[in-house]
Structure 1
Amino acid sequence: MTVKPLAIAAVLASFSAFAAEAGQIERACLSSGRPGVTRGLCGCIQHAADITLTRGDQSRAAGFFRDPHRAQVVRQSDRRSDEEFWRRYQLFGDTAAAYCS
């Protein structure tokens, strides 16, 4: 499934301004210590998460910022629930890349 950047932009534009409190993904992004991280970038990534991931998925994905190896374990898992999560996580990553880069 391909997602068109214009469609992503339209959906994200429909969201209100950043919430006063950062979401799970935004907090994990901001605390990751990676070069180039800004509040704006992390907020954009959070918006992508809000439209593609459930709260539970966001909590799980936020853990990947702290422990990237955990993502590799999930990606290689044969469990159906992990495979389904990984599909949603890939859509999140594609959405964030298209809209936030």
Structure 2
Amino acid sequence: MNRTLISAAFLVALLAPAAAVAGPIESACNRSDRQQSSRALCRCIDSVADNTLTRSEQRRAARFFTDPDEAQRVRMSPTRGDNEFWARYRAFGTEAQRVCSN
């Protein structure tokens, strides 16, 4: 019985559409009040984030949608970790703009 339950759970996870689970960037983008945003654009940006940022970096970057001042604090931060994150975040932004622009 236990094996059957595990197998069934595995099948459900395997067959469930991956797009149904939005990442942190897509969720934040969809909740934003930016006029230019659309579900397709947010999905595209999230896809780029999946390829360029770690999951924790995505969560951190998603906070910039609701707190743009946080982005400025990170950008101006003197710490090595923030500077390294900012470099990856900028690379993500450049790639998202290249891939997702119309």
Relative to the length of structure 1, the TM-score reads 0.81
In structure 2, the residue matched to 1:10 is none
Q: What runs of 5+ residues in structure 2 fail to find an aligned partner? A: 1-16
Q: 2: CA distance between counterparts of 1:79 and 1:19?
A: 36
- Residues 25, 46 of structure 1: 8 Å contact kept: yes
In structure 2, the residue matched to 1:33 is 33
Aligned pairs for 1:22-101 (under 5 A) are 22-101=22-101
Equivalent residue of 1:35, what SS? coil
Instruction: Answer 1 or 2: which has greater helix percent.
Output: 2
Q: How big is each residue's C-alpha offset from its partner over 1:53-98, in whole Å with a ceiling of 9 and x where there is no partner?
A: 0001000000000001100000000000000000100010001000
CA, structure 1 residues 99+18, in 2 after alignment: closer, same or farther (shift >3 Å)? farther
Query: Which residue identity is paired with 1:59?
Result: R
- Structure with more contact order per residue of length (Cα contacts < 8 Å, sep ≥ 6): 1
Q: 2: CA distance between counterparts of 1:78 and 1:36?
A: 33
Relative to the length of structure 2, the TM-score reads 0.80
Equivalent residue of 2:20, what SS? coil
How much is the aligned-residue C-alpha RMSD, in angstroms?
A: 1.2
Q: 2: CA distance between counterparts of 1:19 and 1:79?
A: 36
Identity of aligned residues (%): 54
Q: What runs of 5+ residues in structure 1 fail to find an aligned partner? A: 1-16
- Residues 18, 43 of structure 1: 8 Å contact kept: no
- Residues 29, 37 of structure 1: 8 Å contact kept: yes
Q: 2: CA distance between counterparts of 1:26 and 1:96?
A: 12
Task: Work out the number of aligned pairs and report it.
Answer: 85
